[in-house]
A and B are shown apart, each in its own frame.
Chain A
């Protein structure tokens, strides 16, 4: 809290300085406070030039190869653009432009005797990692490119997949301290104008100091910030983003973030992996259903165990009683404590695995999973039936293709557990009602989150819990309220069907 206040004050201070029209001398004074700001003055035949730059921001090779050798023939600054073999050269006399661009990695060139015109030459160093394999959304089939931290590379990855002039990239700057470039991507003529203006409006209304990642943007602009459910999809796959844009959705890319955001979306999209589109529709639909039931299982299994063993043992069929009784007869803890201990143990394992480097993480898995699990059963602390249930529930929660949704599911089972202990099945049912109403109330960029289930839209079921063949997907989802509703003409689509 304290640091945050401190930052606020700092940003206010910077604003004040922006307001007054400062001279070039005071700017230099301010910049000279940093050791990596260099100014060189050299005497040439026709004029004496000063060159200023941040040595840490520019590529010195560009400076030596493409700038310095050409300066000899310079007589006035205004001829810089024609003289240098660099495409981005700005001529200006505005100090604030100079300051902004110097901080972006431009080199400042000016005549010491003529302070009316300044040249800025783009010479920033491009230190980003190479495009690599997707790690969170890996797929066996399909493209294997994922986003990196550079916005330009990311936009390039998307634009390559959508080489049409209607594809629009709108750039905004967000964050008082970080000055992060945020791009809104959509296709004009397909994306709903209201959605586009909602996104741009929310982004430009943002008043925040540092945007370090796209996930911060999600948290700041989503419709209900107090919901555990993410309301924008987070994806690291350029192909997924491109196909979402083609569907009429809007994507947000943030400089410095290797993940893009997609909206408006529905809860069912969080259970669809992009790989589903590369597989046969039957297989893909089966996988999606498996994932959906896995999530239901993950939320409900342990609470139902607790409810049955605390209140409703009449429910257990007689053949199953023996199994349950033998596994629980020696256990001193009531079911809720037993379940909570095991659930928390799994949470610990997950948290430890996530914080440690991969190689140590594997050891944690073995130690936690095998040693603690079997030992606690042998010690008579937990029943092995519950151990199976909890392990399966944990496994099931990891099947969600979008990482954030997996976390949400791990969180919401705890209220279910407590309610199951308090009121048995009724508690589970009541928590389930709460969940349903919460989902009913949620919206993603103003569009219903539970669509196509509610509002019921039969047409949109084709790509939700199941994925029907592409020949039946000639229409874009109603959810996006697209301007052009057809993906392709349905009459020609008949050719797509196997003869």
Chain B
């Protein structure tokens, strides 16, 4: 457990879990899942959310038992070297979450706001924000996660505008897709929920961590609610064919928002979205750097700088829609593997090993 003044209240886990799940995914998840599940895609959103809740439960089983972060658990169970390799895989996973959030956001800015934007300059500016946050310690990272949920919340009010033109009959007929189609959509939807695995790193920073479990679940449910809300409006607002042509259906819906003092709301929406992206990148970078720092005992600031440099190089290196899509695929495969196979495996293993150790010490 960490020192007391560095710890945060358990209910902030609600914002930490939710903020890292919300990212660029919300702006364009509709096309991927509606490709296979059509107007029944909302079931996939719910199914994926509930599955994630199950995983959160498993994580808490593991963490409540061990009372330390993932790196220490690895070291404890597998020793320094093998544990280190497993930790490294997780660190890469977290870095990829941050990278995808950052790169996709830059892509959206490029496509929607500034086609000629200087990617290097823009990434440097955002990454310097990340640096400023992460060097402030976990308290500041948790703070920006909280503010990144609370301040941009007004954006979701604007989704009431498309309701005026919505046709909710699009939702009917329910259940006209097979279970197989739905499960494919559920798998695709999972990508939108990834990232909460950073919980494995910040668990020691929570006061009374056992109490935080319900907040983690609630945070996940808020994500589910937002996805569901936006998806239902999308289904009602667009026809299926239209959605298949929209990479960012959410942004397209903003086009019809019209206020007496402002038109073309998507500009404001996209710029406000930076406050939603920032916690996402900050938290994953924080988890990754914390992991590296614990494994190798380097100075925190150097690790952060080095990590951000890697992120910068990768953002500049990844160009074009296809490579971003490919990165998304790799990342979702790795993420699903880690969450659905590795976390339960680790939990069971830790239970067995602690039991065996107890018996041994009891005999000896």
Q: Mark A437-449, 1 if CB is under 8 A from B, else 0.
A: 1101100000000
B129 touches A437 (CB 8 A): yes
A311-B114, A455-B143 are known contacts; what are 9 more A-B pairs with Cβ within 8 Å? A315-B268, A316-B263, A317-B263, A318-B263, A423-B114, A425-B113, A434-B129, A455-B8, A455-B12
Does B144 sit within 8 A of A, measured CB to CB? yes
Judge whether A163 is part of the interface by a CB distance below 8 angstroms: no
Does A430 have its Cβ within 8 Å of any Cβ on chain B?
yes
Q: Which of A285-322 contact B (CB under 8 A)?
A: 311-312, 314-318, 320
Answer whether residue A366 sits at the interface, using C-beta atoms and an 8 A cutoff. Answer: no
For the complex, is A433 an interface residue (Cβ under 8 Å from B)? yes
Determine the distance from Cα of A314 to Cα of B267 in the docked complex, in whole angstroms: 9
Q: Contact: B274 with A440, CB < 8 Å?
A: no
Contact present for B113 and A426 (CB under 8 Å): yes
Flag whether A436 is at the interface (Cβ < 8 A).
yes
Cα(A316)–Cα(B8), bound, Å: 43
A319 nearest in chain B by CB position: B260
Give A261-305 interface residues, CB cut-off 8 Å to B: none
- The residue that B109 contacts in the complex, of A312, A426, A433, with Cβ under 8 A, is A426
Give the residues in chain B near A429, CB-CB below 8 Å.
Answer: 271-272, 274-275
A453 to B146, CA, bound (A): 9
* CB–CB A314/B264 < 8 A: yes
Say whether B61 faces chain A, with CB atoms less than 8 Å apart: no
B114 adjacent to A426 (CB under 8 Å): yes
A433 partner residues in chain B, CB cutoff 8 A: 129, 274-275, 278
Does B88 count as interface, using CB distance less than 8 angstroms? Answer: no
Cross-chain contact A440 with B267 (CB below 8 angstroms):
no
A434 contact set on B, CB distance < 8 A: 129, 132
The answer to whether B140 touches A314 (Cβ under 8 A) is no
In the complex, the chain A residue whose C-beta lies closest to that of B146 is A454
A69 adjacent to chain B (CB < 8 Å): no
Considering the complex, which residues of chain B in the window 1-19 have a beta carbon less than 8 Å from any beta carbon of chain A? Answer: 8-9, 12
The yes or no answer to A456 lying at the interface (CB within 8 A) is: yes
Contact with A along B105-136 (1 / 0, CB 8 A): 00001000110010000100110010011001
Q: Number of contact residues on B: which range applies?
A: 35 or more
Interface flags, A109-139, vs B, CB<8A=1, else 0? 0000000000000000000000000000000
Given contacts A314-B264, A450-B143, is CB(A428)–CB(B136) below 8 Å?
Answer: no
Chain B residues, CB < 8 A from A455: 8-9, 12, 143
Does A258 lie at the interface of the complex (its beta carbon under 8 Å from any beta carbon of B)? Answer: no
Is the beta-carbon distance between B146 and A426 smaller than 8 angstroms? no
A105 within 8 Å of B (CB atoms): no
- Give the distance in Å from the alpha carbon of A433 to the alpha carbon of B131 in the complex: 12
Give 8 nearest A-B pairs by CB, closest first: A440-B143, A425-B271, A429-B271, A441-B136, A454-B143, A314-B264, A429-B274, A440-B140
Interface of chain A residues 393 through 432 with chain B (CB within 8 A): 423-426, 428-430, 432
Closest residue on chain A to residue B129 by CB atoms:
A433
Instruction: Let me know if A312 and B278 touch, CB within 8 A.
Output: no
A425: chain B residues at CB < 8 Å are: 113, 267-268, 271
Q: Are A317 and B262 in contact (CB under 8 A)?
A: yes
A428 to B275, CA, bound (A): 12
Is A430 within 8 A of B263, CB to CB? no
Instruction: Flag if B267 contacts A312 (CB, 8 Å).
Output: yes
Q: Which residue from chain A places its CB closest to the CB of B131 in the assembled complex?
A: A437
Chain A residue at minimum C-beta to C-beta distance from B259? A317
At the interface, yes or no: B261 with Cβ under 8 Å from chain A? Answer: yes
Of the candidates B133, B140, B267, B274, the one having the most CB atoms from chain A within 10 angstroms of its own CB is: B267
**B267 engages A317 (CB within 8 Å):** no
| CB nearest to A432 among chain B residues | B275
| Closest A residue to B126 using CB positions | A430
**A430 and B268: CB pair below 8 A?**
no
- Residues of chain B with a CB closer than 8 A to A450's CB: 143
Q: Is B147 an interface residue (CB 8 A)?
A: yes
Complex CA–CA separation, A121 to B133 (angstroms): 59
Q: Within the assembled complex, what's the spacing in Å between the Cα atoms of A315 and B109?
A: 16
Shortest C-beta distance, B259 to chain A (Å), equals: 8
Given contacts A315-B264, A426-B114, contact A436 B144 (CB under 8 A): yes
Residue from A320, A434, A437 whose CB has the most chain B CB atoms within 10 Å: A437
- A427 CB to nearest chain B CB (Å): 9
Q: Decide if A440 touches B147 in the complex (CB within 8 Å).
A: yes
Given the complex, which residues of B lie within 8 Å of A428, measured CB to CB?
Answer: 271
